[in-house]
Amino acid sequence: MKNNFNKSNVLTGCASSLVLLSAMAASQSVLAHGFVEVPPSRALLCKQGVNLNCGGAQYEPQSTGETFKGFPSGVGGAPLQGPVDGKIASGGKASFSALDAQSATRWHLTEIRDRNITFQWQYSAAHPATKHEYFITRDGWNPNEVLKRASFDNTPFCTVDGGHQPPVAGAPHNCVIPDSKSGHHVILGVWTVGDTDNAFYNPVDVNILAEAALPGGWKPVGSITPSTPLLAGDKVKARAFSATGENAQYSVEISIDNAEEGEAGNWSFKLAEAINNAHSPIRAGVRDDEGNITPIKGANSLYAQEESGVTRYEVQLDMQEDTGASLGISSLQPEYVLDKGRVSMAFAAQTNRRMNLEATLFDEKNKQVGVVSKVGEGSTALSLDVRSAPGVHTLTLVGSTEDGRTTRQETQTVTLTGEGAGVEYDFVFPEGISDYTAGTKVLQPKTDEVFECKPFPASGYCKQYSPTANGFEPGVGASWQSAWDKL
């Protein structure tokens, strides 16, 4: 029997097997991907559109940072293993190289307010994990240099043994951020894969705002920030809250008995002392180098022991009205003469407290024809630029104390005589812009002209205005004639 032996068929079959094996190996490598989801990694924030100009990372956050095992020194101390300095985030892959950029402002920072932090990963395929490790940048690191081994502490601040088992997506890794770390840092999450030579390196950009743990089990739960002076009769309450809501047991209230106690620093000190005297598991004050917490006349921090159950405090001010506050109008003339519909009305506000003042003039139809705002105390000169027609007008002066506790109002009538403006209008542009419809008349103060909104459908353009998009602004915008007629 003759055997037909075709060498080319054998070679083709061998090649096909090699291609299949290569494809299977490549498939296994591709599937063994993952990224830090909580807090979000640099690459995940690229996918979410928070970080911009990220290259291929915005499409494949799960594939970034894959390279040889070994951080920071390499497997077995081999210096050529592990990630390459300057290419830690990308894993040395050109399509992810945008992630290697590093500066103080390049990446969004996730705020960290609790040193007890939980990390969670997502996986495309959960291949066996040797371990998960979390490294953090050194104290005093330079955020404007590329990430290198030397940028990070030599040892991880948290390690989770993988047991050579497939990791579970979203499984919590509970860690504690070192007390020395605050402000801008990069946390490097490292997932070492058990059945390949690789690991995944995921940088997480953070702003650590959590206060360092205190000796003796104290934890920060709020602050007393005295920004407002108080008056006799006012009250201040520090309201305590636990995980289930307000905790009245640890809430403390004080009353202000006199003007001296009402000074901002003094009432903060009084409240801090009252808290310290009322509850031993709660302390208010400022820490010294030995960890002692002592009240001061100024801003005081609040701390609690775990046994109290208190997680935060809110400071609530109960301010009484300032019955002695007064407001009046002086130097107002009974009559002002219009010149082509315009006049400058000068008068004065009389107050015995420092107030936010606003004077408004209304015509006979209660249309606002002039307004001016100012902060003043004692006798404060005011001047209203008015555009109106002759007739009886109403001047309203409103004054509010700067702490917001008291408002006073005075109203007087005044007569405008002389020559009117000639053209009536509904608004001074852009006041009341949401109400503009066909036929609405507006005064353009930039040109001292009156414009009327065109009929539908052009009237829709009359409302389209912002300081950066003013194409339809009457008399000024490039396309104003599409929306307005000048009167």
pLDDT in tens, the chain (487 residues): 334 434 344 344 434 444 333 333 333 344 458 999 999 999 999 999 999 999 999 999 999 999 998 888 754 444 557 889 999 999 999 999 999 999 999 999 999 988 889 999 999 866 788 999 999 999 999 999 999 999 999 999 999 999 888 898 888 998 989 888 999 999 999 999 988 888 999 999 999 988 766 777 888 888 898 888 899 999 999 999 998 889 999 999 999 999 999 998 999 999 999 999 999 999 999 887 677 899 999 989 899 998 999 988 999 999 999 889 999 999 999 999 999 888 999 999 999 999 999 999 999 989 888 999 999 999 999 999 998 889 999 999 999 998 888 999 999 999 999 988 777 888 889 988 988 999 999 989 888 889 999 999 999 999 988 887 889 999 999 999 999 999 8
Q: Tell me, what CATH number does 175's domain have?
A: 2.70.50.50
78 and 165 belong to one structural domain? yes
334 and 409 belong to one structural domain? yes
What's the pLDDT at 413? 96
Measured distance CA(179)–CA(175) in Å, rounded: 12
Measured distance CA(32)–CA(198) in Å, rounded: 10
Alpha carbon distances (Å) from 190 to 5, 19, 168, 423: 53, 32, 15, 74
304 and 344 belong to one structural domain? no
DSSP letters, 111-128, are: EE--SEEEEEEEESS---
What's the pLDDT at 76? 45
Q: Tell me, what CATH number does 242's domain have?
A: 3.30.70.2150
Q: 387 with 368: CB under 8 angstroms?
A: no
Structural domain includes residue 157: yes
Choose the final residue of a domain: 285, 318, 351: 318
Structural domain includes residue 10: no
Closest CA to 39 of 98, 102, 111, 141: 111
CB atoms within 10 A of CB 313: 27
Structural domain includes residue 311: yes
Closest CA to 141 of 169, 173, 180: 180
**Cα 270-272-278 angle, rounded to 5 deg:** 100
Nearby residues of 197 by Cβ (< 8 Å), 6 or more positions away: 68, 69
Q: 429 with 442: CB under 8 angstroms?
A: yes
Using DSSP's 3-state secondary structure scheme, residue 105 falls into coil
Alpha carbon distances (Å) from 134 to 44, 51, 87, 268: 17, 22, 18, 41
Q: Tell me, what CATH number does 411's domain have?
A: 2.60.40.2550
Structural domain includes residue 13: no
Closest CA to 482 of 447, 454, 452: 454
Q: 438 with 455: CB under 8 angstroms?
A: yes
Q: How many residues are present in the chain?
A: 487
Structural domain includes residue 475: yes
Alpha carbon distances (Å) from 461 to 438, 447, 468, 470, 474: 10, 20, 15, 11, 10
312 and 346 belong to one structural domain? no
Measured distance CA(404)–CA(321) in Å, rounded: 9
User: Tokens 């109203």 correspond to what residue?
Assistant: 411
What's the pLDDT at 213? 61
83 and 109 belong to one structural domain? yes
Measured distance CA(418)–CA(485) in Å, rounded: 28
What's the pLDDT at 447? 87
What's the pLDDT at 120? 95
Choose the final residue of a domain: 152, 182, 208: 208
DSSP letters, 124-176, are: SS---EEEEEEEEBPTT--TTS---GGGB-SS-SEEEEEEEEPPPTT--EEEE
353 and 311 belong to one structural domain? no
Structural domain includes residue 21: no
Q: 450 with 487: CB under 8 angstroms?
A: yes
Closest CA to 379 of 349, 413, 423, 338: 349
194 and 223 belong to one structural domain? no
Choose the final residue of a domain: 286, 318, 350: 318
59 and 168 belong to one structural domain? yes
280 and 410 belong to one structural domain? no
Domain count, the chain: 4
Structural domain includes residue 15: no
Domain range enclosing 410: 327-418
312 and 334 belong to one structural domain? no
Question: At 11, phi and psi to the nearest 5?
Answer: -65, -40
269 and 202 belong to one structural domain? no
What's the pLDDT at 70? 85
Structural domain includes residue 285: yes
266 and 345 belong to one structural domain? no
What's the pLDDT at 32? 56
